[in-house]
Amino acid sequence: MRAGPDVPYERAKNAEYLVALEKKLKTRIEIGIARNEAWANPGGVTLPFSPDDLHPLIGRVGLESPHELLGTDFYIGPRRLVVGGVEVYSCFAEVAKLFYQPDGGGFEGHESVVVRRTFEARHREVVAADDEWVRDVMESPFAARKLGVPAAPVHRPRRRFTLDRERDAPTQPELLIVQDDAKVATAEHTHIVRPPLGTRSPVGMRAVEAVRRRLSAPRSSQLTSVLATLQPDQYEMATSDPRQDLVVQGHPGTGKTIIATYRAAFLVDPDREGNSASRVLLVGPTKQYVNHVQGILRQHDPEGRIQATHIESLLSNFVASKSSLEHTFAGRYDDLDAHTRGLCEIAAHKVRQLDRFAMHKDVRSRWLRTTYELLRTNGQSGRTQLTDNPAEVAWLKNLPTFELASSQRRYLPLLAQCALALRAPTVQEQYDHIVVDEAQDMSPIEWNILDQMKSKAGRWTLVGDMNQRRSDTSYESWEAIAHHLGIGSGDTQFQATTITRGYRSTAQILELADKLLPRAQRGVEVVQRDGPGVQKIWASNPQKLFSISVDIAVDFKTRYSDGMVAIISAEPTALTQWMARHGWRRDRSVHRWVLGGQLLNVYGPASARGLEFDAVVVVEPSKFKQHVGKAGQLYTSLTRANRELAIVWQKNLPQALR
């Protein structure tokens, strides 16, 4: 990797691209949906243009000799545009493989690639670039182009491209830049003097220095674009054949959420090969997850063809429930068994026979109640039982009343299945592709519900980590999920794709968390090899447990003032009550707490899934629930930290963490 190409020129070209992109997207996009679809697609139907939807240029590819269609060089961006006679291709077009894949992904002409330039942007302005040379040539293919383009807008003082040598210590010779800042506005290339070809990037990675700078940057509440540093394996999975199902197994921090999000964006991209999807459903674990990925989705989907939601919200929409039931998940496997669908459909059929009114909103609520009560009483009229299976009869007998069931997260999937048995989604309401992140936590009945929302020819993308399962009510293997959904049946053999390179957490954090796993499943390849050691602090009595935890978190926040710090506890309510008694006040979000200018995030293990922070304090790990002998919740919580982790305990520290 070599750093230091002519950034002012690229900054100006990016500014020109953004002007053209804004003009293309500025028209308000009206999305029409049928009235009877609103229950499955809640929210606004108009997506006005926002400057936040603009994504800067991603990179540039230089060729050794002119290509018939590509010329000697071309750019990669979020959308295809022609800017001042220069081609900018979509990051999801076939030609983008020349940028993301070392072998060009089989794209014709990859042998001619000489250099790949990766841009680093802040506030949509190019501030740095890294050149990755495939081989030496007499002259850079970028040096031949001289174009008059507008001067880039200046939001901050211009600077020469430099590296923080203590933080980024390049492993290869730097490029020597000879430039005259007074002539930047002419957008002419500066003269580049290249040293001899240095060492290559680590096997399987690209844009390594840009990745490391990215990892050292502060975390934020929303996932920010990583298109410029997307790795070859991540890109290959995100853009794999949309006509095939995809299952991805990955350890924490391997980029699963990035893959899921860009997979959804790829599916609706108008520039990709084949017909883009009309409707894509992205399902995450929590409301915080949806907020986390929303910004990226808007940049790639201004037409609103991707619906991002979380499983509880999805189920609540079917039941027409507006109450928040998060953190109350519990129950028996019977409540979530896949075979429950059959009983619900029998009960719904009986209800329709008894009441033949039109299926409008007022009647739907009454029918749901009647269907559930018929299920609970196994037919209640006594004429015909729904089932005579002793196990099922006993389970139905123990179901609570409709009022009680409606207030518990445990029974939400069952009520949603009853609602779908009464009214299945129409063809227009179904999705061409369903992407599920944290898929390991879906219960059998939830898979049934999602399956009914997929079109007949639709496909799945499932992303998750079986080591992070948080409940025994979910399937214990990808093979079991694949069997349930029919993935790999017929001519296609099921095979999960495994990713093993960890980006988010340091080696010190992952080595500790790995001890919670069976030996055969340990050993993630770590990118952040250097980091502080994990702190383990014992509280001498219960009264000090929370005070020590908060003090450490405040210290973390002092050092990561521009980033995010979280406390994760199995008892978040007790923790926040203690904080409230000591002057902390809840901020705009239920998870944000402030005191004297300090801001901390407090999460339970369930609501922290899919998120990441600069530093994390895990409180009393012995109280995190286990299932089938595995510490899935604790494992997930430990690996939310990007740079630093502290464990505070008062009771027994789990043996694996000692």
Dump pLDDT digits (tens) for 631-653: 678 999 999 999 999 999 998 89
- What is the number of residues in the chain? 658
Are 296 and 264 in contact, with CB atoms under 8 Å apart? no
Q: According to the annotation, is 257 in a ligand binding site?
A: yes
Are 100 and 230 in contact, with CB atoms under 8 Å apart? yes
Q: Which of 49-58, 146-155, 559-568 has the lowest mean pLDDT?
A: 146-155
For residues 271-284, give the mean pLDDT.
92
Taking the complete model, does pTM exceed 0.85, yes or no? no
Contacts of residue 440, defined as CB under 8 A and 6 or more positions apart, other chains included, come to 464, 465, 466, 468, 469, 474, 475
Are 326 and 607 in contact, with CB atoms under 8 Å apart? yes
Percent of all residues in the chain with a pLDDT value above 90, rounded to a whole number: 51
Phi, psi of 546 (to 5 degrees): -75, -40
pLDDT digits (tens, 9 = 90+) for 349-400: 888 877 655 455 556 788 899 999 999 999 875 567 899 889 889 999 999 9
pLDDT digits (tens, 9 = 90+) for 434-472: 999 999 999 999 999 999 999 999 999 999 999 888 888
Are 105 and 97 in contact, with CB atoms under 8 Å apart? yes
Are 509 and 369 in contact, with CB atoms under 8 Å apart? no
C-alpha distances in angstroms, 658 versus 197, 506, 567, 569? 47, 18, 20, 19
Cα-only R_g, the chain? 27
Phi, psi of 353 (to 5 degrees): -70, -35
Dihedral angle over CA of 212, 114, 62, 169, nearest 10:
20
What pairing do the DSSP bridges indicate for beta strands 125-133 and 113-122?
antiparallel
Going along 507-575, which residue ranges are E strands?
Answer: 525-528, 535-538, 565-569
Question: What's the distance, Cα to Cα, between the start and end of the chain in Å?
Answer: 40
> Sorting pLDDT into bands at 50, 70 and 90, what band is 2?
very low
Query: What is the pLDDT, as a whole number, of residue 323?
Result: 56
Query: What is the pLDDT, as a whole number, of residue 526?
Result: 87
Token code pair at residue 47: 């997506």
How far is Cα 552 from Cα 555, in angstroms, rounded to an integer?
Answer: 5
How far is Cα 525 from Cα 179, in angstroms, rounded to an integer?
Answer: 40
Neighbours of 68 (CB within 10 A): 6
Q: According to the annotation, is 253 in a ligand binding site?
A: yes
User: Options 3.30.365.10, 3.30.70.100, 3.40.50.300, 3.40.630.190; which CATH number does 505-657 get?
Assistant: 3.40.50.300
CATH no. for 232-323+430-501: 3.40.50.300
Determine the distance from the C-alpha atom of residue 514 to the mean position of all C-alpha atoms in its chain, rounded to a whole number: 22
How far is Cα 387 from Cα 450, in angstroms, rounded to an integer?
Answer: 25
Token code pair at residue 572: 């978040």
Are 441 and 470 in contact, with CB atoms under 8 Å apart? yes
How far is Cα 447 from Cα 453, in angstroms, rounded to an integer?
Answer: 10
Determine the distance from the C-alpha atom of residue 3 to the mean position of all C-alpha atoms in its chain, rounded to a whole number: 29
For residues 3-29, give the mean pLDDT.
81
For residues 598-609, give the mean pLDDT.
92
Phi, psi of 133 (to 5 degrees): -90, 130
How far is Cα 645 from Cα 529, in angstroms, rounded to an integer?
Answer: 15
Q: According to the annotation, is 583 in a ligand binding site?
A: no
Are 531 and 583 in contact, with CB atoms under 8 Å apart? no
How far is Cα 434 from Cα 275, in angstroms, rounded to an integer?
Answer: 16
Query: What is the pLDDT, as a whole number, of residue 212?
Result: 87
Neighbours of 330 (CB within 10 A): 12
- Burial class of residue 30 in the structure, from the number of CB atoms within 10 Å of its CB (0-12 exposed, 13-18 middle, 19+ buried): exposed
Are 80 and 88 in contact, with CB atoms under 8 Å apart? yes
How far is Cα 507 from Cα 430, in angstroms, rounded to an integer?
Answer: 43
Quick one: which of 281, 275, 274, 282 has its CA closest to 256? 282
HEC string of 263-326 equals HHHHHHCCCCCCCCCCCEEEEECCHHHHHHHHHHHHHHCCCCCEEEEEHHHHHHHHHCCCCCCC
The overall average pLDDT reported for the chain is 82
Q: Tokens 């991002």 appear where?
A: 308
In the DSSP assignment, the letter for residue 36 is G
> Sorting pLDDT into bands at 50, 70 and 90, what band is 46?
very low
Q: Which of 167-176, 201-210, 477-486, 601-610 has the lowest mean pLDDT?
A: 167-176
For the chain, helix, strand, coil in percent to 5 are: 35, 20, 40
Q: Tokens 């059929």 appear where?
A: 349
* Predicted confidence (pLDDT) at residue 291 exceeds the cutoff of 70: yes
Q: According to the annotation, is 254 in a ligand binding site?
A: yes
> Sorting pLDDT into bands at 50, 70 and 90, what band is 170?
very low
Quick one: which of 561, 595, 596, 563 has its CA closest to 578? 595
Quick one: which of 462, 53, 458 has its CA closest to 263? 462
How far is Cα 274 from Cα 373, in angstroms, rounded to an integer?
Answer: 48
How far is Cα 622 from Cα 449, in angstroms, rounded to an integer?
Answer: 34
- For residues 295 and 16, the model is more confident at 16
Are 14 and 125 in contact, with CB atoms under 8 Å apart? yes
- For residues 151 and 125, the model is more confident at 125
Token code pair at residue 147: 């174009």
- Burial class of residue 168 in the structure, from the number of CB atoms within 10 Å of its CB (0-12 exposed, 13-18 middle, 19+ buried): middle
Amino acid in position 454: K
Contacts of residue 636, defined as CB under 8 A and 6 or more positions apart, other chains included, come to 252, 468, 470, 605, 608, 609
For residues 543-553, give the mean pLDDT.
96
- For residues 339 and 383, the model is more confident at 339
> Sorting pLDDT into bands at 50, 70 and 90, what band is 5?
low
Listed in order, the ranges of the chain carrying CATH 3.40.50.300 are 232-323+430-501, 505-657
Neighbours of 322 (CB within 10 A): 7
> Sorting pLDDT into bands at 50, 70 and 90, what band is 125?
very high
The answer for 238, left when phi > 0, alpha when psi is -120 to 50, beta otherwise, is: alpha
* Predicted confidence (pLDDT) at residue 213 exceeds the cutoff of 50: yes
